[in-house]
Structure 1
Amino acid sequence: MKRSPLALLLLLLACTAHAQYDAGATVGMGQGMVLNNAVIGSNVMGDVILKQGQAAHRGGASSQGGAANLAALQFQPSADVSRSVLDRIARQFGGRQPDSYRQALLREGLLAKFDALLQQYGYDSHNVADAFTAYLVLSWEVVNNGSIGQNRAGIDAVRRNMQQALARNPRFVAMPDAQKQEMAETFGYLAMIASSTRSALQRKGDQMSLARLQEGVNGTAQKMGVDLREVRLTPQGFVAL
């Protein structure tokens, strides 16, 4: 029987993603992601992950960041950059079938689904802070077997904290649009692959593979400066345990 595009994608995800979701490899994809250790490392995460009793940020960027730097969170997308990111994702997660994996991703339209998901929250996939927020929240959900559906206030708080953290970071603000797009779209793929794979493995009842997926997703987040098992999502945003 011929498999549907969705069935093929989920098969590829379930068979390879939990093994390929490797922290060092995924964080290192592309020049934009190579910069991440410096750009979105402990300094940014220190603003995004609150300590116990720390007040959440309110409103937009502070005067130190300013409206001009908030505008720097946006980028103009390029089809060439999108193709480059897709190629890297296919090579990373596709195992011995990168071409099949690439075609499955295209048919399933994961980036379009990521964009639609963000739009439901009034977010923009062409905004790095919004894409990074979605990546962190969805990854937290995967790692902790949690549910974010009833915590809109917490998601919005993470977004505000992320906006401030990136807008105050001069290295991020100075990045060209191509690198910002590479970051945002990589976050989109990583988030959707992790979330889709989790759903597929839960339906199969494959707890061993699910545990490996969770370790891989958390390992990638740790490379960016946060252990998702050590934070909880509250109405004030992510708070360290």
Structure 2
Amino acid sequence: MLIRPFLTALLLLATPVAANAQQLPQAVENPTTTADAAEFDTSYRPSPSISARMQREFLSRIRWSAGVEVRDNLAEAFAERSPSEIWQELVAPDGLTTNNVADALTAYWVLNWVAANGAYAVEVDSRPIQRQLRLAFANDPSFLRLSDQQRQEMAEGYILNFLVEHAALNTALAQKDLETLYALAMAAASRFRSQMNVNLFTLVPGPDGFVGRSNSD
């Protein structure tokens, strides 16, 4: 996934919004490798009211973390196109789609890995990571108990934070702001370490998804 151009309004953002702690699926490290599990359905039936609520809460957090002007610019952008529509345009070339938890987490994980490792020009194949996450979700008892509403809240949480972090990274790259790029890298690494117990510095994408780096990497 290459970093692609984004809306001018969103480029006003300087730092990502703190996300609620969300764990990677419990089985992501040692999933049961079965063909059926790899095709496990992580989609959900979306509710417009849930999307509207999450957008309101997101804009409220933006108001207090980044200011009224940024909040208003985002609200204007979202009035023209929903966050999911904006996200879909960005990730469609990677074969990802809306209303799917594994797809939302795939995009979020790739973006944070790129930010943490400074791999801005690396073309990451999202498909193995998508399969890896489907497999893990299929073996995660806590995920299997989630309702459509809970799946939507999880996925759209990843989507909203993806948009903020993507915009911040694009801004820093366009301005060649090395200090901010370093800060974003450390924030991504810290976020995944504390919220998901994952060390982004030790991972590398490959045909089996994200795996530990070998000594030769």
Query: What range describes the TM-score normalised by the shorter chain of this pair?
Result: 0.7 to 0.9
Which residue of the partner structure matches residue 27 of structure 1?
20
More helix by share: 1
* 2:27 corresponds to 1:44: yes
Q: Determine which of 99, 105, 112 is the counterpart of 1:139.
A: 112
Residues 57 and 161 in structure 1, CA contact (< 8 A), matched pair in contact too: no
> Closer, same or farther in 2 for the Cα pair 1:123/1:206, shift >3 Å?
closer
Q: Please say if 1:225 is aligned against 2:197.
A: yes
1:188-199 residue pairs with structure 2 within 5 A? 188-199=159-170
Runs of at least 4 residues off by over 3 Å:
5-8, 56-60, 107-110, 147-151
Partner of 1:202: 173
Number of matched pairs: 203
Please tell me the residue identity of whatever aligns with 1:178: Q
Q: Unpaired runs of 5+ in structure 1? A: 29-35, 49-55
Distance of 2:43 and 2:94 partners within structure 1: 17
Q: CA deviation at 1:158?
A: 1.2
Show the counterpart of 1:123. 96
When the two chains are superposed, the root-mean-square deviation of aligned CA atoms in Å is: 2.7
Q: Which amino acid aligns with 1:191?
A: F
CA–CA distance in 1 between the matches of 2:138 and 2:61? Answer: 30
TM-score (norm 2): 0.80
Give yes or no for the alignment of 1:103 onto 2:75: yes
Distance 1:57 1:157, change over 3 A: farther
What SS does the aligned partner of 2:205 have? strand
Per-residue deviation at 1:101? 5.0
Out of 19, 25, 47, which is 1:78 matched to?
Answer: 47
Partner of 1:31: none
Could you say if the C-alpha distance between residues 104 and 217 of structure 1 is closer, same or farther in structure 2, counting changes exceeding 3 Å? farther
Partner SS, residue 95 of structure 2: coil
Gaps of 5+ in 2: 1-5
How many angstroms apart in 1 are the aligned matches of 2:197 and 2:132?
15
Asked if structure 2 preserves the Cα contact closer than 8 Å seen for 1:47 and 1:161, the reply is no
